[in-house]
Copies of this chain bind each other. A is one copy, B any other.
Amino acid sequence: MTRIVLDAMGGDHAPRSEVEGAIRAVRQLDVEVLLVGPRDRVRAELERQGGAEERAIRLIDAPEVIAMDEPLFQAIRRKHNSTIRVGMRLVREGLADGFVSAGNTGAIMAIAKMVIKPLGRIDRPALAAVLPTLSGRWTILLDVGANAECKPVHLLQFALMGDIFARTIMGVESPSVGLISIGEEQLKGNELTREAYRLLKKSGLRFVGNVEGQEIYRGCVDVIVCDGFTGNVILKVSEGLPPFLFKVLEEELLSHAQTEMGALLSRSALENIKRRFGYEAFGGAPLLGVKNVVVISHGRSTGRAIQNAIRVAAELCQKQVPSRIEREMEKLDQKSILLPEGAPS
């Protein structure tokens, strides 16, 4: 049985959503959940939700909580027994298989690099977002925030990790890989993308070239890579635009008397789409390129989103994605694609 550590104090609704997600997960999936947090508080919530009898949920005490907006240096230097740190130690020591948190993304990534450590051949672990698209397929976008500054070879590593993720978790046989740029031709873009294009072209991956922003949600490409600054901006814009569109739509619906009924009827549809779109459906963003499975869930995660994040983490563990990434990196290393002579690394 796969054992997943769940940071009980991660999200905005912690520990309520976390406890709900843990209960849902152990009831519906073949997992054991190690709930890490201030023991009494978590236990009380577990009792309140009627999950105290679940034998597949274990409580692990961790007294300190890192706040969403807590500065990184403080979170790392001062809080040695934070839920994130205690939870990751369990994973590192083999007492658990994977880690899930809806907490402070910066802190989770930094502590993962310190405690769990990057895979030997990965310079930069990357955060991957799994996006729903028009075509009905998921698109994996990485890096969405782990590395604000990237070199071309990092984008190649992201592509490789995304390819393995798409194969193993999405079941895509031969994933297409694209590169975010601002024009379709090879020479468009900036220095980073032009050199990354060259590396991707000879990588052996099914590289389909540059992808412009408006194509992301069409769902024609399985894996799309970019530096973490660009990826984070894409993700945040994708989060900020829907509320604006929905508000305009509601106004539009309500502005005509004859469509008031339409507005009324559409409300539930709007609620559904809000739930269907974005983080809740997929549940979490995997941090790829560290030695163990780490999945970061959205701060606003509901119990259902947490359950989905646990499901994704368990699947990543069962399919041994970290060690697969390591093996593929070795192959590339042997073909000396990762550090081609004269190429900036």
Contacts and interface: CB of A to CB of B under 8 A. Distances in A.
Interface string A210-253: 00111111100000000011101111111111111101110011
A63 interface: no
Q: How many copies of this protein are present in the complex?
A: 2
A134 B244 contact: yes
Interface string A195-212: 000000000000000001
Interface stretch (A48-56, A87-95, A178-186): A178-186
A281 to B, nearest CB: 11
Contact of A182 (B145, B213, B216): B145
Interface in A139-193: 145, 148-149, 180, 182-183, 185, 188-191, 193
Nearest to A242: B245
B233 A182 contact: yes
Contacts of A148: 182, 188-190
Interface stretch (A17-25, A254-262, A335-343): A254-262
A273 to B, nearest CB: 5
B244 A266 contact: no
Interface residues of A, number: 62
Contact of A236 (B134, B213, B266, B269): B213
A182 B232 CA distance: 6
A252 B246 CA distance: 14
A239 B214 contact: yes
A191 B149 contact: yes
A165 B2 CA distance: 58
Contacts of A262: 261-266, 269
A323 interface: no
| From A193, A242, A258, residue with most partner B Cβ within 10 Å | A242
A272 interface: yes
Interface string A258-298: 11011111101110110011000000000000000000000
7 contacts: A182-B236, A213-B234, A213-B235, A218-B240, A218-B244, A249-B273, A263-B265
Interface of A: 71, 106, 132-134, 145, 148-149, 180, 182-183, 185, 188-191, 193, 212-218, 228-230, 232-245, 247-249, 252-253, 256, 258-259, 261-266, 268-270, 272-273, 276-277
